[in-house]
Amino acid sequence: MRTQVCIIGGGPSGLLLSQLLHLKGIDTIVLERQSRAYVLSRIRAGVLETGLCNLLRKAGAGERMDREGFIHGGTLLAAEGRKFRIDFDGLIGKSVMVYGQTEVTRDLYDARDRMDGKIIHDVDGTTIHSADTDAPYVTFVKDGTEQRVDCEWVAGCDGFHGVSRKTIPDSVLRQYEKVYPFGWLGILSETPPVDDELIYANHERGFALCSMRNANLSRYYIQAPVDDPLGKWSDDTFWDELRRRLPAEAADRMVTGPSIEKSIAPLRSFIAEPMRWGRLFLVGDAAHIVPPTGAKGLNLAASDVHYLSDALIRLYDENYSAGIETYSANALARVWKASRFSWWMTSTLHRFPTQTAFDQNMQEAELSYLENSRAAQTALAENYVGLPY
Protein backbone atom coordinates (compact mmCIF):
# COMPACT_ATOMS: atom_id res chain seq x y z
CA MET A 1 0.00 0.00 0.00
CA ARG A 2 1.08 3.57 -0.59
CA THR A 3 -0.26 6.83 0.82
CA GLN A 4 0.91 10.35 1.47
CA VAL A 5 0.31 10.34 5.24
CA CYS A 6 0.11 7.18 7.34
CA ILE A 7 -1.76 7.92 10.57
CA ILE A 8 -1.24 5.55 13.48
CA GLY A 9 -4.22 5.66 15.82
CA GLY A 10 -7.93 5.81 15.01
CA GLY A 11 -9.08 7.88 17.96
CA PRO A 12 -10.47 11.41 17.57
CA SER A 13 -7.12 13.07 16.77
CA GLY A 14 -6.20 10.55 14.06
CA LEU A 15 -9.68 10.68 12.52
CA LEU A 16 -9.80 14.49 12.61
CA LEU A 17 -6.37 14.79 10.98
CA SER A 18 -7.35 12.29 8.29
CA GLN A 19 -10.59 14.14 7.56
CA LEU A 20 -8.99 17.60 7.34
CA LEU A 21 -6.26 16.32 5.02
CA HIS A 22 -8.73 14.39 2.84
CA LEU A 23 -10.81 17.53 2.31
CA LYS A 24 -7.70 19.13 0.78
CA GLY A 25 -6.94 16.17 -1.47
CA ILE A 26 -4.18 14.63 0.67
CA ASP A 27 -4.36 10.83 0.83
CA THR A 28 -4.21 9.08 4.21
CA ILE A 29 -4.44 5.62 5.71
CA VAL A 30 -5.37 5.22 9.38
CA LEU A 31 -4.13 2.18 11.33
CA GLU A 32 -5.96 1.33 14.57
CA ARG A 33 -5.01 -1.44 17.00
CA GLN A 34 -8.53 -1.89 18.37
CA SER A 35 -11.88 -2.60 16.72
CA ARG A 36 -14.20 0.24 15.82
CA ALA A 37 -16.68 -0.94 18.45
CA TYR A 38 -13.97 -0.81 21.12
CA VAL A 39 -12.91 2.70 20.15
CA LEU A 40 -16.51 3.87 20.37
CA SER A 41 -17.02 2.24 23.77
CA ARG A 42 -14.39 4.36 25.53
CA ILE A 43 -15.86 6.92 27.96
CA ARG A 44 -13.93 10.18 28.03
CA ALA A 45 -14.44 13.81 29.05
CA GLY A 46 -16.46 16.07 26.82
CA VAL A 47 -15.71 19.76 27.41
CA LEU A 48 -14.74 21.15 24.01
CA GLU A 49 -12.84 24.39 23.53
CA THR A 50 -13.86 26.91 20.88
CA GLY A 51 -10.92 25.87 18.70
CA LEU A 52 -11.91 22.21 18.64
CA CYS A 53 -15.54 23.06 17.88
CA ASN A 54 -14.40 25.14 14.92
CA LEU A 55 -12.12 22.36 13.68
CA LEU A 56 -14.99 19.86 13.79
CA ARG A 57 -17.17 22.23 11.78
CA LYS A 58 -14.33 22.76 9.29
CA ALA A 59 -14.02 18.98 8.98
CA GLY A 60 -17.74 18.60 8.23
CA ALA A 61 -18.27 16.76 11.53
CA GLY A 62 -19.87 19.41 13.71
CA GLU A 63 -23.54 19.33 12.75
CA ARG A 64 -24.72 16.94 15.48
CA MET A 65 -22.49 18.66 18.05
CA ASP A 66 -24.14 22.00 17.28
CA ARG A 67 -27.59 20.40 17.47
CA GLU A 68 -27.19 18.25 20.58
CA GLY A 69 -24.28 19.75 22.52
CA PHE A 70 -24.69 22.04 25.51
CA ILE A 71 -23.11 25.48 25.33
CA HIS A 72 -21.67 26.54 28.68
CA GLY A 73 -21.01 30.24 29.15
CA GLY A 74 -19.35 29.74 32.51
CA THR A 75 -18.33 27.31 35.24
CA LEU A 76 -18.71 27.12 39.01
CA LEU A 77 -16.01 26.86 41.66
CA ALA A 78 -16.73 25.90 45.27
CA ALA A 79 -14.80 26.17 48.54
CA GLU A 80 -15.64 26.63 52.21
CA GLY A 81 -19.26 25.60 51.65
CA ARG A 82 -20.04 28.25 49.02
CA LYS A 83 -19.72 28.50 45.26
CA PHE A 84 -19.16 31.27 42.74
CA ARG A 85 -19.34 31.52 38.96
CA ILE A 86 -16.72 32.34 36.33
CA ASP A 87 -18.66 34.06 33.54
CA PHE A 88 -16.88 33.17 30.30
CA ASP A 89 -19.38 35.06 28.14
CA GLY A 90 -19.24 38.22 30.23
CA LEU A 91 -15.47 38.21 30.71
CA ILE A 92 -14.17 37.25 27.26
CA GLY A 93 -17.21 36.69 25.05
CA LYS A 94 -16.53 32.96 24.55
CA SER A 95 -17.94 29.65 25.74
CA VAL A 96 -17.26 25.91 25.77
CA MET A 97 -19.32 23.02 24.41
CA VAL A 98 -20.25 20.01 26.55
CA TYR A 99 -20.38 17.09 24.13
CA GLY A 100 -18.97 13.64 24.88
CA GLN A 101 -15.69 12.52 23.33
CA THR A 102 -17.38 9.27 22.31
CA GLU A 103 -19.85 11.33 20.28
CA VAL A 104 -17.03 13.35 18.70
CA THR A 105 -15.37 10.09 17.64
CA ARG A 106 -18.66 8.73 16.27
CA ASP A 107 -19.21 11.89 14.22
CA LEU A 108 -15.68 11.70 12.81
CA TYR A 109 -16.14 8.03 11.86
CA ASP A 110 -19.35 8.97 10.07
CA ALA A 111 -17.54 11.78 8.22
CA ARG A 112 -14.76 9.42 7.14
CA ASP A 113 -17.33 6.84 6.01
CA ARG A 114 -19.04 9.42 3.81
CA MET A 115 -15.71 10.06 2.07
CA ASP A 116 -14.70 6.39 1.92
CA GLY A 117 -11.75 7.09 4.17
CA LYS A 118 -9.39 4.15 4.62
CA ILE A 119 -9.25 2.99 8.25
CA ILE A 120 -7.75 -0.42 9.02
CA HIS A 121 -8.79 -1.81 12.41
CA ASP A 122 -7.51 -4.71 14.52
CA VAL A 123 -3.89 -4.30 13.46
CA ASP A 124 -1.03 -5.65 15.52
CA GLY A 125 2.72 -5.21 15.67
CA THR A 126 2.71 -1.75 14.11
CA THR A 127 6.30 -0.61 13.49
CA ILE A 128 7.62 2.65 12.03
CA HIS A 129 10.67 2.33 9.79
CA SER A 130 13.15 4.87 8.38
CA ALA A 131 11.36 7.87 9.88
CA ASP A 132 14.62 9.83 9.73
CA THR A 133 14.89 9.36 5.95
CA ASP A 134 12.94 10.59 2.94
CA ALA A 135 11.27 7.19 2.52
CA PRO A 136 9.50 6.19 5.75
CA TYR A 137 7.23 3.16 5.87
CA VAL A 138 5.05 1.37 8.39
CA THR A 139 4.55 -2.36 8.80
CA PHE A 140 1.75 -4.09 10.67
CA VAL A 141 0.08 -7.47 11.01
CA LYS A 142 -3.55 -7.95 9.98
CA ASP A 143 -5.24 -11.36 10.11
CA GLY A 144 -1.89 -13.04 10.58
CA THR A 145 -0.27 -11.42 7.53
CA GLU A 146 2.34 -8.67 7.66
CA GLN A 147 1.54 -5.69 5.46
CA ARG A 148 3.44 -2.52 4.56
CA VAL A 149 2.43 1.09 3.98
CA ASP A 150 4.92 3.27 2.09
CA CYS A 151 4.32 6.93 2.80
CA GLU A 152 5.79 10.42 2.81
CA TRP A 153 4.92 11.27 6.42
CA VAL A 154 3.88 9.39 9.57
CA ALA A 155 1.53 10.94 12.16
CA GLY A 156 1.65 9.23 15.55
CA CYS A 157 -1.81 9.65 17.06
CA ASP A 158 -1.55 6.41 19.02
CA GLY A 159 -1.61 7.63 22.61
CA PHE A 160 0.72 7.42 25.56
CA HIS A 161 1.35 3.67 25.21
CA GLY A 162 1.68 3.64 21.41
CA VAL A 163 4.72 2.93 19.26
CA SER A 164 5.24 6.41 17.82
CA ARG A 165 7.01 8.15 20.70
CA LYS A 166 9.08 5.01 21.36
CA THR A 167 10.39 5.22 17.78
CA ILE A 168 12.28 8.44 18.55
CA PRO A 169 15.79 7.61 19.83
CA ASP A 170 16.47 8.16 23.53
CA SER A 171 19.37 10.41 22.55
CA VAL A 172 16.86 12.78 20.90
CA LEU A 173 13.77 12.51 23.11
CA ARG A 174 13.36 14.57 26.28
CA GLN A 175 10.56 13.62 28.68
CA TYR A 176 9.12 15.59 31.59
CA GLU A 177 6.70 14.06 34.08
CA LYS A 178 4.87 14.78 37.32
CA VAL A 179 2.79 11.99 38.86
CA TYR A 180 0.11 13.16 41.28
CA PRO A 181 -0.38 11.20 44.51
CA PHE A 182 -4.10 10.55 44.02
CA GLY A 183 -6.66 9.56 41.42
CA TRP A 184 -10.16 10.45 40.29
CA LEU A 185 -12.92 8.02 41.22
CA GLY A 186 -15.63 8.63 38.65
CA ILE A 187 -19.13 7.30 38.10
CA LEU A 188 -21.62 7.67 35.27
CA SER A 189 -25.29 7.66 36.26
CA GLU A 190 -28.59 8.05 34.43
CA THR A 191 -29.61 11.03 36.54
CA PRO A 192 -30.12 14.72 35.75
CA PRO A 193 -27.06 16.92 36.43
CA VAL A 194 -27.01 18.73 39.76
CA ASP A 195 -26.42 22.05 37.97
CA ASP A 196 -26.60 23.52 34.47
CA GLU A 197 -22.81 24.06 34.56
CA LEU A 198 -19.83 22.15 35.93
CA ILE A 199 -18.95 22.50 39.62
CA TYR A 200 -15.28 22.19 40.65
CA ALA A 201 -15.05 21.86 44.44
CA ASN A 202 -12.14 22.26 46.83
CA HIS A 203 -12.73 20.61 50.21
CA GLU A 204 -10.54 19.58 53.12
CA ARG A 205 -11.63 15.96 52.45
CA GLY A 206 -10.55 16.24 48.80
CA PHE A 207 -11.58 17.47 45.37
CA ALA A 208 -14.96 16.86 43.72
CA LEU A 209 -16.37 17.56 40.25
CA CYS A 210 -19.96 17.58 39.05
CA SER A 211 -20.19 17.20 35.29
CA MET A 212 -22.68 15.92 32.74
CA ARG A 213 -23.07 14.22 29.36
CA ASN A 214 -26.63 15.29 28.63
CA ALA A 215 -29.86 16.26 30.39
CA ASN A 216 -30.29 12.75 31.84
CA LEU A 217 -26.72 11.47 32.08
CA SER A 218 -24.34 12.77 34.74
CA ARG A 219 -20.62 12.26 35.36
CA TYR A 220 -19.32 12.80 38.90
CA TYR A 221 -15.81 12.52 40.33
CA ILE A 222 -14.17 12.59 43.73
CA GLN A 223 -10.49 12.56 44.61
CA ALA A 224 -9.48 9.16 46.01
CA PRO A 225 -6.32 7.08 46.52
CA VAL A 226 -5.34 5.79 43.09
CA ASP A 227 -4.84 2.27 44.45
CA ASP A 228 -8.23 2.08 46.20
CA PRO A 229 -10.13 -1.11 45.27
CA LEU A 230 -13.38 -0.27 43.49
CA GLY A 231 -15.13 -2.69 45.84
CA LYS A 232 -14.52 -0.22 48.64
CA TRP A 233 -16.77 2.29 46.90
CA SER A 234 -20.38 1.19 46.75
CA ASP A 235 -22.73 3.62 45.03
CA ASP A 236 -24.12 4.76 48.39
CA THR A 237 -20.61 5.34 49.75
CA PHE A 238 -19.71 7.40 46.70
CA TRP A 239 -22.84 9.57 46.84
CA ASP A 240 -22.39 10.20 50.58
CA GLU A 241 -18.80 11.30 50.11
CA LEU A 242 -19.63 13.49 47.11
CA ARG A 243 -22.33 15.30 49.10
CA ARG A 244 -19.88 16.03 51.92
CA ARG A 245 -17.55 17.86 49.53
CA LEU A 246 -20.19 20.08 47.89
CA PRO A 247 -21.96 23.22 49.12
CA ALA A 248 -25.12 22.23 51.01
CA GLU A 249 -27.52 23.71 48.46
CA ALA A 250 -25.99 21.57 45.68
CA ALA A 251 -25.79 18.44 47.83
CA ASP A 252 -29.42 18.77 48.91
CA ARG A 253 -30.82 18.84 45.37
CA MET A 254 -28.59 16.15 43.89
CA VAL A 255 -30.51 13.26 42.30
CA THR A 256 -28.70 9.96 42.86
CA GLY A 257 -29.06 6.57 41.21
CA PRO A 258 -27.21 3.38 40.29
CA SER A 259 -23.87 3.82 38.57
CA ILE A 260 -23.60 2.44 35.03
CA GLU A 261 -19.81 2.87 34.94
CA LYS A 262 -17.25 3.28 37.72
CA SER A 263 -13.48 3.59 37.57
CA ILE A 264 -10.43 5.22 39.17
CA ALA A 265 -8.09 7.16 36.87
CA PRO A 266 -4.51 8.14 37.77
CA LEU A 267 -3.38 11.75 37.26
CA ARG A 268 -0.12 12.82 35.68
CA SER A 269 1.44 15.67 33.73
CA PHE A 270 3.73 14.46 30.95
CA ILE A 271 5.38 16.21 28.00
CA ALA A 272 7.78 14.78 25.42
CA GLU A 273 10.03 16.90 23.21
CA PRO A 274 10.47 17.21 20.28
CA MET A 275 7.14 16.39 18.64
CA ARG A 276 8.78 15.79 15.28
CA TRP A 277 11.64 13.49 14.33
CA GLY A 278 12.43 13.38 10.64
CA ARG A 279 9.14 12.53 8.91
CA LEU A 280 7.42 11.35 12.09
CA PHE A 281 5.10 13.68 14.01
CA LEU A 282 3.70 13.10 17.49
CA VAL A 283 0.11 14.19 18.07
CA GLY A 284 -1.97 14.31 21.24
CA ASP A 285 -1.41 11.79 24.03
CA ALA A 286 1.55 10.32 22.16
CA ALA A 287 3.41 13.48 23.18
CA HIS A 288 1.64 14.83 26.25
CA ILE A 289 -0.73 13.92 29.07
CA VAL A 290 -2.49 16.38 31.35
CA PRO A 291 -4.55 15.73 34.48
CA PRO A 292 -8.27 15.92 33.64
CA THR A 293 -8.74 19.06 35.75
CA GLY A 294 -9.78 21.66 33.18
CA ALA A 295 -10.44 19.08 30.41
CA LYS A 296 -7.43 19.82 28.23
CA GLY A 297 -6.49 16.35 26.92
CA LEU A 298 -8.67 16.11 23.82
CA ASN A 299 -8.44 19.85 23.24
CA LEU A 300 -4.64 19.77 23.21
CA ALA A 301 -4.73 16.91 20.71
CA ALA A 302 -6.97 19.07 18.52
CA SER A 303 -4.53 21.98 18.60
CA ASP A 304 -1.75 19.60 17.50
CA VAL A 305 -3.99 18.50 14.63
CA HIS A 306 -4.53 22.15 13.71
CA TYR A 307 -0.81 22.89 13.48
CA LEU A 308 0.02 19.65 11.66
CA SER A 309 -2.84 19.71 9.17
CA ASP A 310 -2.11 23.34 8.33
CA ALA A 311 1.59 22.55 7.83
CA LEU A 312 0.92 19.57 5.55
CA ILE A 313 -1.78 21.32 3.54
CA ARG A 314 0.48 24.30 2.88
CA LEU A 315 3.33 21.98 1.97
CA TYR A 316 1.28 20.19 -0.68
CA ASP A 317 -0.67 23.24 -1.90
CA GLU A 318 2.08 25.87 -1.88
CA ASN A 319 5.34 23.93 -1.47
CA TYR A 320 5.67 25.90 1.79
CA SER A 321 7.72 23.85 4.25
CA ALA A 322 8.17 26.31 7.12
CA GLY A 323 5.12 24.92 8.95
CA ILE A 324 6.69 21.46 8.93
CA GLU A 325 9.90 22.83 10.40
CA THR A 326 8.10 24.77 13.15
CA TYR A 327 5.39 22.20 13.97
CA SER A 328 7.05 20.92 17.13
CA ALA A 329 7.88 24.37 18.51
CA ASN A 330 4.41 25.76 17.75
CA ALA A 331 2.59 22.78 19.23
CA LEU A 332 4.80 22.62 22.33
CA ALA A 333 4.36 26.33 23.09
CA ARG A 334 0.63 25.74 23.50
CA VAL A 335 1.11 22.37 25.22
CA TRP A 336 3.24 23.90 27.98
CA LYS A 337 0.76 26.72 28.58
CA ALA A 338 -2.24 24.38 28.74
CA SER A 339 -0.28 21.99 30.97
CA ARG A 340 0.49 24.89 33.29
CA PHE A 341 -3.22 25.64 33.58
CA SER A 342 -4.11 22.01 34.31
CA TRP A 343 -1.30 21.82 36.89
CA TRP A 344 -2.53 25.04 38.52
CA MET A 345 -6.13 23.85 38.72
CA THR A 346 -5.03 20.49 40.07
CA SER A 347 -2.75 22.07 42.67
CA THR A 348 -5.41 24.57 43.76
CA LEU A 349 -8.36 22.22 44.05
CA HIS A 350 -6.96 18.93 45.39
CA ARG A 351 -5.81 17.86 48.84
CA PHE A 352 -2.28 16.46 48.84
CA PRO A 353 -1.17 13.73 51.29
CA THR A 354 1.34 16.00 53.05
CA GLN A 355 -0.98 19.01 53.04
CA THR A 356 -1.19 20.98 56.29
CA ALA A 357 -3.83 23.32 57.65
CA PHE A 358 -1.67 26.18 56.33
CA ASP A 359 -1.72 24.69 52.83
CA GLN A 360 -5.51 24.27 52.94
CA ASN A 361 -5.95 27.88 54.01
CA MET A 362 -3.68 29.04 51.19
CA GLN A 363 -5.82 27.15 48.66
CA GLU A 364 -8.96 28.74 50.10
CA ALA A 365 -7.29 32.19 50.00
CA GLU A 366 -6.40 31.59 46.34
CA LEU A 367 -10.02 30.77 45.55
CA SER A 368 -11.28 33.73 47.59
CA TYR A 369 -9.01 36.03 45.59
CA LEU A 370 -10.30 34.48 42.39
CA GLU A 371 -13.89 35.01 43.54
CA ASN A 372 -13.32 38.75 43.97
CA SER A 373 -10.86 39.58 41.20
CA ARG A 374 -12.09 40.23 37.68
CA ALA A 375 -8.50 40.06 36.41
CA ALA A 376 -7.98 36.60 37.94
CA GLN A 377 -11.32 35.40 36.60
CA THR A 378 -10.44 36.67 33.12
CA ALA A 379 -7.17 34.72 33.18
CA LEU A 380 -9.02 31.55 34.19
CA ALA A 381 -11.69 32.10 31.52
CA GLU A 382 -9.08 32.63 28.78
CA ASN A 383 -7.33 29.39 29.66
CA TYR A 384 -10.48 27.34 30.23
CA VAL A 385 -12.13 28.15 26.89
CA GLY A 386 -8.77 27.61 25.18
CA LEU A 387 -5.83 29.82 24.25
CA PRO A 388 -5.77 30.81 20.56
CA TYR A 389 -3.96 28.58 18.08
What is the mean predicted confidence (pLDDT) over 366-380? Answer: 97
- How many domains is the chain built from? 2
**Mean pLDDT within 137-163:** 97
For 1-16, what is each residue's pLDDT tens digit? 999 999 999 999 999 9
> Which of 99, 180, 200, 307 is the catalytic position?
200
Same domain, 274 and 312: yes
Give the single-character DSSP code of 358. H
Task: Exactly one of 22, 292, 307, 327 is catalytic; name it.
Answer: 292
Task: List the domain range (segments joined by +) for residue 295.
Answer: 5-71+98-177+268-346
- Is 331 a member of any domain? yes
**What is d(CA 194, CA 313) in angstroms, rounded to the nearest whole number?**
44
Same-domain check for residues 169 and 189: no
Residue-wise pLDDT for 99-132, tens only, equals: 989 999 999 999 999 999 999 999 999 999 999 9
The pLDDT value given to residue 10: 95
DSSP class of residue 261?
A: E
Element (H, E) at 325: helix 322-349
Catalytic residue among 99, 109, 180, 384: 384
161 is catalytic: no
251 and 375 housed in the same domain: yes
CATH number of the CATH domain containing 149: 3.50.50.60
Determine whether 384 is an active site residue. yes
- CATH number of the domain bearing residue 368: 3.30.9.10
Tell me the per-residue pLDDT of 198-235, one tens digit each, with 9 for 90 and over: 999 999 999 999 998 888 889 999 999 999 999 999 99
Residue 296 designated active-site: yes
pLDDT of 380 reads 98
At residue 27, φ and ψ (nearest 5 deg) are -80, 140
Q: Could you report the per-residue pLDDT of 315-334, keeping only the tens digit for each?
A: 999 999 999 999 999 999 99
pTM of the model: 0.94
| Each residue's pLDDT tens digit, 39-81 | 998 767 689 999 999 999 999 999 999 999 999 999 999 999 9
Q: Which of 12, 22, 72, 220 is catalytic?
A: 72
Q: Which of 296, 306, 327, 350 is catalytic?
A: 296
- Domain assignment present for residue 114? The answer is yes
SS3 (DSSP) at 375: helix
Q: What local confidence, expressed as pLDDT, does residue 42 receive?
A: 77
In a domain, 89, yes or no: no
Q: What's the pLDDT score for residue 265?
A: 93
**Structural domain includes residue 80:** no
Q: Are residues 36 and 146 in the same domain?
A: yes
Asked if 308 and 207 sit in the same domain, the reply is no
Domain identity same for 55 and 131: yes
Sign of CA dihedral 223, 224, 229, 235: negative
State pLDDT tens for residues 157-167.
999 999 999 99
pLDDT averaged over every residue in the chain: 96
* Residues 187 and 278 placed together within one structural domain of the fold: no
Q: Is residue 90 part of a domain?
A: no
Assess whether 200 and 279 both reside in one domain. no
Q: Is residue 91 part of a domain?
A: no
Specify whether 358 is located in the same domain as 244.
Answer: yes
The helix (run of H) or strand (run of E) holding residue 57 is helix 50-58
Is 93 part of a structural domain of the chain? Answer: no
Task: Say if residue 43 is in the same domain as residue 121.
Answer: yes
Asked if 148 and 278 sit in the same domain, the reply is yes
